[in-house]
């Protein structure tokens, strides 16, 4: 139960998985997959990666689904971390170097927290090759630096964005640059410098994190991200308008209870912590 303890205390935990023939073949397939003809660099310029999961061949899709289910079943501690955990999303992400985003990182390349669930969830990061600072390693900070009713406020970035006309870029006002974040929380950061066989569990709803910022030309990043969430997760079918069941009623009730808890602190993200 070491992962459960670490997720509850810090918000993340690292591990190893067996590099068998199937995993190695899958990694080779994805690493050699040429997505440049199908995607422009627009996703990278907007701070994100290209998800090729739906366009993989059937054998590869079946393999990564089996891998995701196996990770959930082997890590039985997850049932104590969230209510009725399920694999809710599988992404196979490829990112290329882009001149614009290398100089001006945006959105997921800046420090932020997710808002996929009012409760905790787990994102599982599985690198498919060596990933370091140059090709956009994932970085996460101890969740204790910022409580759920608090949010970090990058005053320098917000001042810079005042003169920016692009509405999409201006959305970064809720995020924090790497320079400012490391200045304040250097000792609380874990940089997931990794290779095939490494695995990282992160509660991205509770932990500030960033990733995918490739800063060296001709490099790329290939990674699998599996989202495992409970009954209250926004990715769940229980929140479809035409879906009715006891589970949906229970999910809404649990969300109502935690909303009341947030109000006891003044509301979710109600307190700003100014950084400069």
Q: Give per-residue pLDDT as tens, 96-108.
A: 999 999 999 999 9
Residue 181 CB contacts under 8 Å (≥ 6 apart), including other chains: 111, 141, 152, 154, 189, 208, 210, 275
pLDDT interval class at 241 (50, 70, 90): low
Distance CA 66, CA 266 (A): 43
Distance CA 252, CA 249 (A): 5
User: pTM for this one?
Assistant: 0.95
Q: Give per-residue pLDDT as tens, 133-182.
A: 999 999 999 999 999 899 999 999 999 999 999 999 999 999 999 999 99
| 121 within 8 A of 230, measured Cβ to Cβ | yes
Structural domains of the chain ordered from first start: 2-147+188-238 (2.60.120.620)
């Amino acid at each position: 139960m070491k992962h459960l303890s670490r997720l509850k205390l810090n918000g993340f935990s690292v591990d190893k998985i067996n590099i068998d023939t199937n995993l190695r073949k899958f990694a080779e397939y994805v690493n050699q997959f040429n997505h440049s003809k199908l995607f422009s660099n627009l996703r990278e310029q907007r701070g994100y990666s290209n998800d090729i999961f739906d366009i993989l061949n059937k054998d590869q899709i079946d393999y990564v689904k089996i891998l995701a289910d196996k990770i959930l079943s082997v890590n039985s501690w997850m049932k104590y971390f969230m209510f009725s955990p399920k694999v809710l999303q599988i992404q196979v992400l490829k990112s290329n170097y882009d001149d614009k985003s290398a100089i001006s990182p945006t959105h997921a390349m800046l420090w932020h927290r997710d808002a996929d669930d009012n409760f905790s969830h787990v994102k599982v990061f599985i690198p498919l090759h060596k990933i370091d600072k140059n090709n956009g390693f994932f970085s996460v900070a101890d969740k204790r630096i910022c409580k759920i009713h608090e949010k970090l406020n990058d005053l320098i970035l917000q001042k810079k964005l005042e003169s920016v006309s692009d509405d999409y870029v201006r959305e970064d006002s809720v995020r924090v640059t790497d320079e400012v974040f490391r200045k304040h929380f250097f000792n609380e950061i874990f940089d997931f410098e990794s290779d095939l066989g490494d695995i990282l569990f992160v509660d991205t709803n509770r932990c500030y994190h960033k990733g995918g910022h490739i800063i060296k030309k001709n490099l790329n990043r290939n990674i699998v991200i599996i989202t495992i969430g409970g009954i209250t997760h926004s990715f769940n079918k229980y929140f479809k308008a035409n879906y009715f069941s006891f589970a949906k009623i229970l999910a809404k009730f649990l969300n109502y209870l935690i909303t009341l808890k947030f109000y006891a602190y003044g509301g979710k993200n109600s307190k700003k912590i100014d950084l400069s």
